[in-house]
Structure 1
């Protein structure tokens, strides 16, 4: 595991941070990370995606990047990794941070990445809904998604799920931003949604600077300090390269 410092670049030189949530949740899960980054004087924006199609979510993320008056570190959790992979080619983006996230290659989607799970790997308890969207089985949500959260918090997240659309699941990445932008990757070692070995394979393929922490798929909620530390390390690295 890589040990990271906690840099404090000048406000004038540091990149803005744009946070992108994944499927089944909304942007409120970033609150802990947001508060740490704001405390450390970062300009932070949280994207609220409908998660109904990759194209629409990438467009909403593009709009958030456009609104920033400085270079951007783009951060994605879970399905949000596919979004930042598609949206991250935006010229303002100077770095990508994947938080236990999908990092598809050209022609890949989340659906293709999860199509052939390794033997013995946990299978996410996804339940198709009559309206064509997807939810996680509420009774299995805590175990699969948020095993290291307070049970009451996990139960709330299960009941407050944001339906995930099939066009988001099947949305194909066209030009992966990680092929042209530096990236960082946080592997959640206890993840039961995206197997840690799959995370390691994607981070290796992307050439990401990688750290590993003990934690569930909801590590961005349970360990906001460790997540914020990686984001700040990425922001400091791109600032140093620019100077």
Structure 2
């Protein structure tokens, strides 16, 4: 069995790369080479380019990990020749011609969900009063306040751009289903991962499960890194 030592992490909307710190520490201490990619959040294409830039620097294969909207980005970016496996963490996993928006509309939103309509600049924000319960109810209020303050501006364009070639059709895919998710309901995660035959693991946690349950999410990433 071969172990892939490169791990590339991509965060989603309403967050930034600092949320990966716990998982970074676990993987780094286990001997992995971890790259945390800054998601520009300006478009799907810009996100793909950011990942490709990171992957181009690697001389060996990598496991590509995406959270939330980052899942849509890794679905296309995963076609890079250096990507050996994909990991979706409470993430969107569209197919060819599909968008993240299509999938979020397949189930009614939870009452805690605070995603607002795009503003005049095409930017989507999350309602501040709902951020804690909607994104990260299993974190402290202090942590939620920091996440809200440090998030990037998410342009709606990325949410409605269709996937051209879904990498999960040809590469191994693993998934984490966050059972207490109020932003992407668990039933949507289940439907996407079942359709794609993704190897899914249920983890009790909020949409920010990668922050609240870093050990369990890291275990899934480590499993994806072990190739027969």
Alignment of 1:87-236 (within 5 A): 87-118=77-108, 121-122=110-111, 124-127=113-116, 128-236=118-226
The CA deviation at 1:123 is 6.6
The structure-2 alpha-carbon separation of the partners of 1:41 and 1:206, relative to structure 1 and needing over 3 Å to count, comes to: same
Unaligned runs of 5+ in 1: 1-8
What secondary structure, in the 3-state scheme, does the structure 1 residue paired with 2:175 have? strand
Deviations 1:74-98 (A, max 9, x none): 0000000001001001111110000
The structure-2 alpha-carbon separation of the partners of 1:121 and 1:141, relative to structure 1 and needing over 3 Å to count, comes to: closer
Q: Distance in 2 between matches of 1:121 and 1:222?
A: 20
Q: Distance in 2 between matches of 1:151 and 1:46?
A: 25
Q: Distance in 2 between matches of 1:142 and 1:176?
A: 32
TM-score (norm 2): 0.95
When the two structures are aligned, how many residues end up with a matched partner?
227
The CA deviation at 1:159 is 2.3
CA RMSD, 1 decimal: 1.5
What secondary structure, in the 3-state scheme, does the structure 1 residue paired with 2:171 have? coil
Deviations 1:192-228 (A, max 9, x none): 0001011011111111111101100001111111111
**8 Å CA contact 2:122, 2:157 repeated in 1:** no
The CA deviation at 1:131 is 2.6
The CA deviation at 1:41 is 0.5
Q: Distance in 2 between matches of 1:59 and 1:221?
A: 25
Unaligned runs of 5+ in 2: none
Q: Distance in 1 between matches of 2:112 and 2:50?
A: 30
Q: Distance in 2 between matches of 1:202 and 1:131?
A: 30
**8 Å CA contact 1:108, 1:172 repeated in 2:** yes
Q: Distance in 2 between matches of 1:63 and 1:206?
A: 27
